[in-house]
Structure 1
Amino acid sequence: MISELCNKVFLKAIYDYHLYDDINFNYENPYEAGSFENLLYTKCWIDTAQWHMEDEIRNPAIDPVVALKWKRRIDKSNQERTDLVEDIDSYFLDKYKNVKPGNNARINTESPAWAIDRLSILALKIYHMHEESIRPNVNEADLEQRKNKLGVLLQQQTDLSLAINELLADIQKGEKYMKVYRQMKMYNDPNLNPVLYNNKK
């Protein structure tokens, strides 16, 4: 099942990142270039590094100049993340290109890759909530509350994994079909963001 593979690769990417715990670390993708697993690993590594960028920018004592540098880096990371999601959807479009949707086939509210994107973020939430649930020098009541939140996240992972598998099964059977709308993030495009094109030299 696809979601089980996704969860496995995401967990590996998260644990690999935390071996170094360095946003700037130049990682090596362990999966074959061009493979589905390679896409998943890169996607989750970007998510993991960005998770820690978001931590940095929330430091109440951060210098505004430093905060702006982080904000721009997060914007760049978000664009890379979006590009990876679209690459994953391209993989599915190719995989199911010969499936003819039935007359009553329905479209889903989101594409498979955007659901997988949520699964990647969920894997990060689970990892970090688990870390917080075993953090030393925290009172028992707070630890219990975190363990309860972890339980909810794990249930959410189970439910989302099942939903992704069902969606892909429906697409394969022609009961649902997928469309991919490129995100076209205007604020990153120097030809579409008026602040950028009005400041061109």
Structure 2
Amino acid sequence: MKFTEKAWEIFNQSIQDYHIQDNIFQSINNPYPKGEIEHLLYLKNWIDTVQWHLEDIIRDENIDPAEALKLKRWIDKSNQERTDRVENLDSWFLNKYKEVKIRPDAKINTESPAWAIDRLSILALKIYHMQIEVDRKDSSIEHQEKCRAKLKILLDQHKDLSTAIEELLQDYQSGNKFMKVYKQMKMYNDKELNPVLYNNK
């Protein structure tokens, strides 16, 4: 099985598991052993799935401002966790390809494999929720048709993105490209780098 096929299967397993309860407060029950790539992929998508629903809730125009602030803090924390898991994934790929002999004319890619896989995880959520809109019985035929057209584009994107990721991984394996990963170094969560935080000490 190709890496993207395995990842897609795990992402959709995570999405289905979340929607059994469909509750942002539920605990994750990761079925894969810690230390395995499958565990990390499931965790990554679970974080994405919870955040997807947090983003929906916070857009309620009637939400209590105090509750909205709590959700904003939660989303900020979730964004940091997403970034951390992407960096974990890149570390896994770095280790996987560390023995590959790099060709003298090897090139670097604009995006690391883990950030491409991050987009694949979000795409799985888009397809899941767009399918719900296509199947809604309380919506108009026009709405369903618009969503069906969007779903087709998302499915095409899944095919193209998966192909691009597989080609990138093949280039790493053959030494035609080399990995060089930069940490995100987000500043707004760092008490030493965000002036609002360090000026309030």
* TM, length-normalised to structure 2: 0.98
2:117 corresponds to: 116
1:40 corresponds to: 41
**Superposed CA offset, 1:89-133 (max 9, x none):** 000000000112111111111000000000000000000000011
**Superposed CA offset, 1:139-182 (max 9, x none):** 11110110110010000001000000000000000001111101
SS for the counterpart of 2:166 is: helix
1:14 corresponds to: 15
Distance 1:70 1:36 in 2: 30
How far does residue 28 in structure 1 lie from its aligned partner after superposition?
Answer: 1.2
Q: Tell me which amino acid in the other structure corresponds to 1:130.
A: Q
Q: Kindly indicate whether residue 186 of structure 2 is the aligned counterpart of residue 198 of structure 1.
A: no
1:23 corresponds to: 24
Distance 2:123 2:69 in 1: 27
Distance 1:59 1:178 in 2: 42
How far does residue 31 in structure 1 lie from its aligned partner after superposition?
Answer: 0.6
Q: Tell me which amino acid in the other structure corresponds to 2:117.
A: I
Distance 1:137 1:42 in 2: 33
2:154 corresponds to: 153
1:172 corresponds to: 173
**Superposed CA offset, 1:32-59 (max 9, x none):** 1110000000000000000000001100
Distance 1:24 1:173 in 2: 44
Q: Kindly indicate whether residue 109 of structure 2 is the aligned counterpart of residue 104 of structure 1.
A: no
SS for the counterpart of 1:33 is: coil
Which shifted more, 19-28 or 161-170? 19-28
Q: Tell me which amino acid in the other structure corresponds to 2:82.
A: R
Which shifted more, 139-148 or 111-120? 139-148
Distance 1:75 1:165 in 2: 31
* TM, length-normalised to structure 1: 0.98
SS for the counterpart of 1:181 is: coil
Give structure 1 regions of 4+ aligned residues with deviation exceeding 4 angstroms. Answer: none
Distance 2:28 2:44 in 1: 12
Distance 2:169 2:76 in 1: 30
Number of aligned positions between the proteins: 200
2:59 corresponds to: 58
Distance 1:28 1:176 in 2: 36
How far does residue 194 in structure 1 lie from its aligned partner after superposition?
Answer: 0.4
How far does residue 137 in structure 1 lie from its aligned partner after superposition?
Answer: 1.5
Percent identity of paired positions between Structure 1 and Structure 2:
61
Distance 1:195 1:138 in 2: 46
Q: Kindly indicate whether residue 121 of structure 2 is the aligned counterpart of residue 130 of structure 1.
A: no
Distance 2:193 2:101 in 1: 36
SS for the counterpart of 2:167 is: helix
Distance 1:55 1:135 in 2: 18
Distance 1:142 1:166 in 2: 36
How far does residue 138 in structure 1 lie from its aligned partner after superposition?
Answer: 1.0
1:90 corresponds to: 91
How far does residue 64 in structure 1 lie from its aligned partner after superposition?
Answer: 1.6
Q: Tell me which amino acid in the other structure corresponds to 1:45.
A: W
Q: Tell me which amino acid in the other structure corresponds to 2:195.
A: P
